Amino acid sequence: IIIGVLISLSALFSGLTLGLMSLDKTGLEIVMHGDDVTNARYASDIFPVRENGNLLLCTLLLGNVAVNALLSIMMGDIAGGLIGFLSSTFLIVIFGEIIPQAACSRYALLIGSKTVPLVRVILVLFYPIAAPLAYMLDKLLGAELATIYSSAELMKLLQIHVENEAMDQDTAVAMRGALKYKDTTVKEVMTPLSNTFMLSVDEKLSFETIAKIFKTGYSRIPVYEISTRLSLGFQNNVIGLLFVKDLIFIDPEDETRVADFVQIFGRGVHVVWPDDKLGDVLRELKLGKSHMALVRDVNNNDASVDPFYEIKGIITLEDIVEEILGDEIVDETDAFVDGSHAVKVDR
């Protein structure tokens, strides 16, 4: 009977050491706030006991060592010699280690929750010895580290969830986009200037011009002024933005010059750099209450000309949102699927 009790205690200590210590505090908190009510209750029961990890570890190990040592002594007295050694080793390894650890590794929450009252009693019994050891571990090794995942690790975790059908593909794509968009640069998602619809300051807002603007489906139109200093392209000197919603105040019969119309509203331009991160640009656009920014870079390709700023393209709030969602947003006003203008919208 005594040997049976000792084997049971050995199994308990061994199984709980693996089972409870494998349940880190971060994982328990996640389960506590999860959708599975039963597991959430189990995690809530275990968390107070698991919170002081070093004390729990020292207590369970002390109990396990004490029980195994006592079991070896008793088996030696009963069987003696080599037989006692082999018998105690077999009982401890099979019934005190392998079986309980295999069970607790698979059902850690269930077994841990059911044994919490007993663990509390054991903590009290071994506290005089376990507490100083736990204090030494805290000082030598520091507090127990929480399990924190990097963005790359979280994306792999999402992939595993999709493969195991625990999450749908669309949700995973959006979550991956939200994780990686902050490290994506502007030049990776911007619309090149060559694909950007723009207006010259000298154009007149006639019926024909306004109709052309509406057909593009854009809400903001960059306005450029021809620069005699720049020889690489006349559209690189962007002076402002024309908001399509402002055209409600215009009479097409007046044929107002674009330059005069832009000056009335004073719509400035927000400027970013090609290597800026989308996370920073999104923050700037939100603070500036703007939905579009010009992408500017320094052009120093011609040694005979002083370096100057060159507009490379534009980036919009929609471009950033599409990068996060991992898909193109096409509405009733869009003429092309994406900023490359390679694919037209099929109406």
Query: Of the segments 124-128, 169-173, 228-232, 329-333, which one has the largest average pLDDT value?
Result: 124-128
Between 149-153, 188-192, 257-261, 339-343, the lowest mean confidence (pLDDT) is in: 339-343
**pLDDT band at residue 45, thresholds of 50, 70 and 90?**
very high
Residue 347, pLDDT score: 42
Residue 345, pLDDT score: 47
> What mean pLDDT do residues 277-303 have?
84
Query: Per the structure block, which two tokens stand in for 308?
Result: 């100057």
pLDDT in tens, 76-96: 666 666 676 677 777 778 877
Strands 271-272 and 308-316, sheet pairing: unpaired
Spatial CB neighbours of 196, under 8 Å, sequence gap ≥ 6: 222, 235, 313, 314
Following DSSP, what letter does each residue of 244-258 receive, concatenated? GGGGGG--GGG--BH
Is 158 a residue whose pLDDT tops 50?
A: yes
pTM for the full predicted model: 0.61
Q: What does the alpha-carbon distance between residue 223 and residue 231 come to, in Å, rounded to a whole number?
A: 18
pLDDT in tens, 100-130: 889 988 898 999 999 999 999 999 999 999 9
Domains in the chain, ordered, with CATH?
2-141 (no CATH), 149-178 (no CATH), 184-325 (3.10.580.10)
Please give the mean pLDDT across all residues of the chain: 83
C-alpha closest to that of 154 among 136, 175, 140, 131: 175
Q: What is the 3-state secondary structure (H, E, C) of 129-158?
A: HHHHHHHHHHHHHCCCCCCCCCHHHHHHHH
C-alpha closest to that of 54 among 146, 148, 175, 136: 136
pLDDT in tens, 211-254: 998 888 888 888 888 765 554 455 677 888 888 888 888 888 88
pLDDT in tens, 253-289: 888 998 888 888 877 788 899 999 998 998 888 887 7
Residue 84, pLDDT score: 64
Q: What does the alpha-carbon distance between residue 100 and residue 15 come to, in Å, rounded to a whole number?
A: 5
Residue for token pair 């990686």 = 180
**Phi, psi values for residue 199, rounded to 5°:** -120, 140
Residue 227, pLDDT score: 64
Contact status, residue 273 vs residue 295, Cβ threshold 8 Å:
yes
Contact status, residue 50 vs residue 27, Cβ threshold 8 Å:
no
- Going edge to edge, which strands form the sheet with 308-316? 191-192, 308-316, 292-299, 271-272
